[in-house]
Amino acid sequence: MNTTLRAGVVIGLCGVGTLLAKRTLNGKTVWQLDPSKCVQCGRCATSCVLTSSAVKCVHVYEICGYCDLCGGYLKPEVKDLNTAAENQLCPTSAIRRKFVEEPFFQYDIDEKLCIGCGKCVKGCGAFGNGSLQLQVRHNICVNCNQCSIAINCPADAFRRVPENNSNLLKGFTK
């Protein structure tokens, strides 16, 4: 009797396995954030299971305007246009500003300092071209079965994407 049960279990497991394997994608999927839905609520910085969130601000240089008065870099009420810490929007001072030529400046993000709060994203989107966007960085993300930021996102902006096309950046051409 046991043998028949055993055979039944084996068949059942293999059946379930093949049924689900048919629907599998090639390769694996990873979590990603859709910047067009993001509302910069700040929960990416606090909800990740890792202390330093896997969501970071990414700069799409292709659509940056290289402006002097950068909406994502400077606080709105600055008196002098310089890189002093009290003028910077970023709470961890993770944006570096480099002079290119008059009047263009290049803005880079130091990912080690970025906490993924989205403040610069909001500023850039409101007053600039929207070239600063939040994205999940897959060299940090541990790819949890259930992303704890995804369930806290008010805009439902997280979804799974295939690993070989894992960014949802707007304006970015590979």
Partner 1 sequence: MSKKLISIFLFLLLIFSGIDSMAKQRFPKPEFEKKYTVPDTQIPASRALWLEYFDVFMLVICLSVVTWFVLKKRSRLGVLSVSVFSIIYFGFYRKGCVCAVGSMQNITLGLFNTEYHIPLTVIAFFIIPLLFTLFFGRTFCAGVCPLGAIQDIVALRSISLKKWVQAMLGLIPFVYLGLAILYAATSTDFVICRYDPFIGIYRLNASFLMFSIGAILLLMGIFIARPYCRFLCPYGVLLNWVSRISKKHLTITPAECIDCRLCEDSCPFGAIQIPTPEKIRENRFITVKRLMFFCIVIPLLIFLGGWTGSRFYENLSMVNLKVRLANELLMSKNEANESQSIEITTFKSQGKPEEKLYSEASVIVKQFYSGGWILGGFIGLVFGLTLAQLTFVHYQKGYTPNKGTCLSCGRCMDYCPVKKGEK
Partner 2 sequence: MRQKIIIAVSLLLFFLVIYLITKDFFSNHAKNEENPTEYNLAKLRSIDSSQFCYKESRHFKLSMKGLNAIVIDSAYRIFIAGENEVQVLDSSLNKLLDFTTDSTADAIFFSNNKIYLAIQNHVEIYDMKGKRVQKRNPYLNSSFITSLVAENNRLYVADAANNVVLCYNEDGSLKSIIGKKDSLKGEQGFIIPSMYFDIALGQYNDLWIVNPGKHLLMNYNEKGDLRTSWGLASMQLEGFSGCCNPAQLAILPDGSFVTYEKGMERIKIYDQTGKYKCVVAGESDFNSKAINNFRLDAMVNDIATDLNGTVYVVDAVSDVVRMYVKK
Interface residue list for partner 2 (CB under 8 A): 39-43, 45-47, 65-71, 76-78, 81, 89, 91, 102-103, 115, 117-119, 122-123, 125-130, 152
Applying CB under 8 A, does 143 fall inside the site for partner 1? yes
The CA distance from 83 to 95, in Å, is 10
Q: Which CB, 27 or 106, lies closer to partner 2?
A: 106
Residue span 53-82 as binding mask against partner 1, x where in contact by CB under 8 A, dash where not: -----xxxxxx-xx----------------
Residue span 20-39 as binding mask against partner 1, x where in contact by CB under 8 A, dash where not: xx-xxx-xxxx------x-x
The CA distance from 153 to 57, in Å, is 16
Residue span 145-164 as binding mask against partner 1, x where in contact by CB under 8 A, dash where not: xx-x--x--xxx---x--x-
The CA distance from 100 to 14, in Å, is 61
Applying CB under 8 A, does 110 fall inside the site for partner 1? no
The CA distance from 141 to 146, in Å, is 12
The distance of closest approach from Cβ of residue 65 to partner 2 in the complex, given in angstroms and rounded to an integer, is: 3
Q: Which does 84 bind (CB under 5 to 8 A by kind): partner 1, partner 2, none?
A: none
The CA distance from 125 to 121, in Å, is 6
The CA distance from 51 to 7, in Å, is 47
The distance of closest approach from Cβ of residue 106 to partner 1 in the complex, given in angstroms and rounded to an integer, is: 7
Max Cα–Cα distance, the chain, nearest Å: 85
The CA distance from 5 to 1, in Å, is 6
